[in-house]
Amino acid sequence: MDCVFCKIIAGEIPSKKLYEDDMVYAFYDIEPAAPVHFLVVPKEHVLESCAQVQEEHAALIGHIFHVIAQLARQLDLAGGYRVVTNCGADAGQTVQHLHFHVLGGGPLGAMA
C-alpha cells in the first residue's frame, strides 16, 4: 500500500519512534507545528480518517487516547496539550491513514 504511515510502521521509512504496541505506533512529526509534536496512529490501515469510525472501533480509539495521555505525562506536557485529527480536504488532511496529532510544550495559538 502506498501510504507513508504504513511504510513508517513497517520500518521502510525512518521515524523518531516514541512508542509502539500491538495496536498503535507513535512518532514525532517531521514538520513540528509546536515545540512537541507527535503523531499516534493505528498500526493497521483500517481507517482513512475519523469519518470512517464505527462503534466497533471504540476499543482502538479508547486505547489511542490512553496512549496519548501516557505519552503526554512521559514527555512532561503538564502545562497542557492539544489533540487534533484532520478529517478530509477542508481540514487539510494529507495522509489518508487515521492519525492523531499531539501538540504541546508551550502555549499554542488559537484554533482555526
Residues with Cβ within 8 Å of residue 85, at least 6 apart in sequence: 49, 50, 98, 99, 100, 101
The answer to whether 15 contacts ligand AMP (rule: CB under 6 A) is yes
**CA-to-CA separations, 33 to 38, 101, 102, in angstroms, rounded:** 10, 10, 10
48, 61, 82, 86: residue in contact with ligand AMP (rule CB under 6 A): 86
Stretch that binds ligand AMP, among 27-35, 40-48, 55-63, 74-82 (CB under 6 A): 27-35
57 is annotated as an active-site residue = no
Q: Which of 27, 34, 97, 99 binds Zn ion (CB under 5 A)?
A: 97
Question: In the set 29, 43, 50, 108, which binds ligand AMP (CB under 6 A)?
Answer: 29
